[in-house]
Amino acid sequence: MITIKETKTKSELTEFVKFPFSLYKGNPYWVPPIIADELESFDKTKNPAFENAEANFYLAYKNNQPVGRIATIVNWDEVNHQQKKKVRFGWFDVIDDIEVTKALLEKVYEMGQKFNLEYVEGPMGFSNLDKVGVLTEGFDELGTMITWYNHPYYAKHFEQLDYVTEKEYMENKFPFANAKPEFFEKINELVKKRYELKPINFKSTKDVMPYVDKMFDLFNESYSKLSSFVAISDIQKEYFKKKYISFINPEYIKYVEDKEGNLVAFGIVMPSFSKALQKANGKLFPFGFLHLLNARRNSKDVVFYLIGVRPDYQNKGVTAVIFNEYYKTFTEKGIQYCYRTPELSDNLAIQLIWKNFNPVVHCRRKTFRRSL
């Protein structure tokens, strides 16, 4: 018999967060989150995502043992402003038992029907800065801190339950040696001269902070046309600023300004924390934070997290200015491999940006949809 229980207390939510630790125990490709960080994400008093969204968290039990989990989510900005009558689900993990998957998804349908929504999509988080998609290729590739890992049977479960593919994402990687400066150095100089642009580099987090609000505004502007986009609110900007910006190496944040000092482009890169997170195994103390600190300082792999360009500067070669600055930083730090976060497979513009680096698609993932 399968029992579904909503998790509300801190101890129940901790069990929710810890379930994947047993499901993927011994898996060399799964990257565990920091447990305290996950719990904060689910805390309605701390995570500003709950300003415009609501979520419930459920665990499935069989023989008194947890066998699956799911979060049901409604993003009200998406429903009311974009008129997408959608209920989301995320943080989905399950044993290979279609009946458990079916029982968990019933909770998603209940939420959708409660609010008269029209369809289900997932897995996805509260917003565009959360993890997204079921892994469909790349099960033998090390995950990242900003993607979900899963077993191959997840997608099969959805297909058996009459879900269809909604969005497809690709993840690419390339050795830094592929970054030939002749591809962007000349364009960099031409673009800077033609549009009177100036790259901004940083040596301290304190210097980054005055630019962060402008960066989030530009993020909202530059990504607004993507089909899955939900804008970041002012409260969320403050939350992300305090929680994440101080954690990113300041030299890995690049800005480009015009002659009036307006931000026209930005790039955010993070060192790879995957192996450090595996060593930490969900805990910052007593030694987890040391593994993360070591990765921040010494990781030879990096993850391109975000690149944003103001719409009126898109297709004008501004990314060459950003790449030129990263090339100098990565050369100095001895970076060996570059990874990219999931990008929509139909986003041809972003694929053209990277073509000269000869990237290899090493993972694919999907979100799945079903009508209510």
Convert the pLDDT of each residue in 26-70 to its tens digit.
Answer: 999 999 999 999 999 999 999 999 999 999 999 999 999 999 999
* The residue to which tokens 């987890």 are assigned: 288
Q: Which CATH architecture has domain 2-170?
A: 3-Layer(aba) Sandwich (3.40)
pLDDT at 309: 94
**175-364: what fold?**
Aminopeptidase (3.40.630)
Looking at the chain, the domain(s) classified CATH 3.40.630.30 span 2-170, 175-364
pLDDT at 349: 81
Q: Are 23 and 95 in contact (CB under 8 A)?
A: yes
Tell me the H-state helices in the chain: 10-23, 35-41, 76, 98-114, 153-160, 185-195, 205-223, 234-243, 274-280, 288-298, 318-333, 348-354
Q: Residue 347 — pLDDT band, cuts 50, 70, 90? A: confident
pLDDT at 81: 86
Chain CA centroid to CA 72, Å: 18
Q: Residue 9: exposed, middle, or buried by beta-carbon count in 10 A (0-12, 13-18, 19+)?
A: exposed
Q: Are 364 and 168 in contact (CB under 8 A)?
A: yes
pTM: 0.94
Task: Report, in angstroms and rounded to the nearest whole number, the Rg of the chain calculated over CA atoms.
Answer: 21
Check whether 260 has a pLDDT greater than 80.
yes
The strand pairing partners of 253, in sequence order, are: 268
Check whether 316 has a pLDDT greater than 90.
yes
Q: Which of 53, 107, 48 is nearest to 243 (CA)?
A: 48
Q: Which of 83, 128, 86 is nearest to 108 (CA)?
A: 86
Q: What percent of the chain stands above pLDDT 90?
A: 85
Distances, alpha carbon 290 to alpha carbons 177, 269, 365, in Å: 29, 20, 32
Instruction: Name the helix (H) or strand (E) containing 365.
Output: strand 360-371
Check whether 228 has a pLDDT greater than 70.
no
